[in-house]
Amino acid sequence: MPQKIVAGNWKMNLSLTEGLDLVKGIDACERDQNVRTIVFPPALFVNAIGARASGEIEVGVQNFHPESEGAFTGELSIKQLKSAGATIGLIGHSERRAYFGESNAFLKEKVDAAVNNDFEFIFCCGEPLFIREKNGELDFVKNQLNESLFHLSAEQIQGKIIAYEPVWAIGTGRTASSAQAEDMHKAIRSWIVEKYDQATAESISILYGGSCNRSNANELFSCPNVDGGLIGGASLKADDFCSIINAF
């Protein structure tokens, strides 16, 4: 059975004080202990948020550079982030792809860097609206996975986390219907079976992201192939985030 996971992507929001208050609030609320809980604050705050969070809340980063060190002004390596307490990173969020020009080839380098440095990651994929409008979403997402993730061996991909985030649903209030989410998640699982095997497919958690909130999380998480969520806006309030964690 894939692990159930709810992760909060804070993006470029919150001051340090607000972030500390938020993680304290999440710690304080009663949460389903079977759900792995991860927060992704701005990298600058990882150390402080990690120190404030109880051991049950994991702290990750929204981005990292694939090189381990060197002349990459403004960037952070896995080695540095791990030394500050980050245990996991996002790869391929649509905002990184769209605003910072991160290509499938570059994301593959990040996947390899993470694997080589024993750093967990959530690999994000998802189609823009114009692709969905011409019914091209399955081919589009399959290509993202083929070009950046599916080169890993069965052993390397074991237990990894994928987040399906349709671009048109991110930050728009327009959630994918549970049927749309399930169709894509089921397809992703079937591609893993085709490429690897059933046991590998069942070891991989596939999260949904895109305007997931306390009102729709239960319906989305009820889908057989939806193993949790990557939450943006609704992860910025402890109550909302905890309701989503408890939505299974």
Active site members = 93, 165
For 84, the token pair is 């500050």
Kindly state whether residue 232 participates in binding ligand PGA, applying the rule CB under 6 A: yes
| Smallest distance, ligand PGA to C-beta of residue 129, A | 14
> Please, which residue, 153 or 174, has the CB nearer to ligand PGA?
174
| Smallest distance, ligand PGA to C-beta of residue 8, A | 9
Q: Which of 53, 145, 231, 238 is the binder for ligand PGA (CB under 6 A)? A: 231
What does the alpha-carbon distance between residue 107 and residue 111 come to, in Å, rounded to a whole number? 6
Residues 92-151 that bind ligand PGA (CB under 6 A): none
For 199, the token pair is 């046991």
| Smallest distance, ligand PGA to C-beta of residue 236, A | 9
> Please, which residue, 162 or 201, has the CB nearer to ligand PGA?
162
Q: Which of 230, 238, 242, 245 is the binder for ligand PGA (CB under 6 A)? A: 230
> Please, which residue, 41 or 232, has the CB nearer to ligand PGA?
232
Stretch near ligand PGA under the rule CB under 6 A, chosen from 59-67, 81-89, 132-140, 206-214: 206-214
> Please, which residue, 66 or 166, has the CB nearer to ligand PGA?
166
Q: Which of 9, 37, 225, 243 is the binder for ligand PGA (CB under 6 A)? A: 9
E strand or H helix at 40, and its extent? strand 35-40
Residues 163-182 that bind ligand PGA (CB under 6 A): 165, 170-171
Kindly state whether residue 211 participates in binding ligand PGA, applying the rule CB under 6 A: yes
What does the alpha-carbon distance between residue 124 and residue 23 come to, in Å, rounded to a whole number? 23
CA-atom Rg of the chain in angstroms: 17
| Smallest distance, ligand PGA to C-beta of residue 174, A | 9
| Smallest distance, ligand PGA to C-beta of residue 90, A | 8
Distances (CA, A) of 137 to 187, 208, 237: 11, 15, 31
Residue nearest to ligand PGA (CB): 232
Residues 8 and 238 sit within 8 Å (Cβ to Cβ): no
| Smallest distance, ligand PGA to C-beta of residue 165, A | 6
List residues near ligand PGA by CB under 6 A: 9, 165, 170-171, 209-212, 230-234
